[in-house]
């Protein structure tokens, strides 16, 4: 291989390693957690933070094998009443973390196939418009969000 061909191969390899837009490598899901569910309850929840180091993107849907379906929701106070609404998608701008947390955006796990118990870990796939699917692991903590190596969350 000539030196020129070696440089061309190196340039091509580096060019594909540096994302030009949003990619699964530019999207990071951190601190994913859930609460335990009592026996007989088939609805759960998942919380996490999305960090985007690439171009702006949009979270389109979520899924997990522990539930029949997973839905994007937001809870907000309206007219003095806490209401929950479905979201069709969530904008994920570059450099601005997007939190999914109690009393805010969250993932509803509908039709749980088994109860979620403290200490369990289950997979969650988030699908983005540009980055595509990004998988994470969700740890089931205590009811108050405690029960991990992280500082317990205050509500």
For 19-67, what is each residue's pLDDT tens digit? 334 456 799 999 999 999 998 899 999 999 999 999 999 999 999 999 9
The pLDDT assigned to 130 comes to 95
Residue 94 C-alpha from the chain's centroid: 15
- Is residue 5 situated within a structural domain? no
For 54-113, what is each residue's pLDDT tens digit? 999 999 999 999 999 999 999 988 888 889 999 999 999 999 999 999 999 999 999 999
Which range marks the domain in which residue 91 is found?
21-140
pTM value is 0.77
- Is residue 146 situated within a structural domain? no
- Is residue 12 situated within a structural domain? no
Is the CB of residue 2 less than 8 Å from the CB of residue 77?
Answer: no
- Is residue 69 situated within a structural domain? yes
3-state secondary structure of 14: helix
The pLDDT assigned to 91 comes to 97
């Amino acid at each position: 291989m000539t030196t020129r061909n070696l440089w061309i191969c190196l340039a091509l390899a580096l060019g594909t390693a540096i994302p030009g837009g949003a990619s699964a490598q530019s999207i990071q899901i951190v601190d994913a957690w859930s609460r335990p569910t009592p026996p007989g309850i088939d609805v759960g929840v998942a919380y996490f933070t999305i960090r985007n180091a690439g171009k702006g993107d949009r979270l389109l849907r979520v899924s997990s094998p522990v539930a029949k379906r997973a839905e994007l929701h937001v809870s907000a106070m309206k007219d003095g009443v806490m209401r929950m609404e479905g979201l069709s998608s969530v904008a994920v701008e570059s450099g601005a973390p997007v939190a999914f947390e109690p009393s805010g955006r969250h993932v509803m796990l509908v039709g749980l196939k088994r109860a979620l118990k403290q200490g369990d870990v289950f997979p969650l796939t988030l699908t983005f418009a540009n980055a595509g699917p990004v998988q994470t692991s969700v740890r089931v903590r205590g009811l108050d969000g405690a029960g991990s190596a992280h500082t317990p969350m205050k509500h």
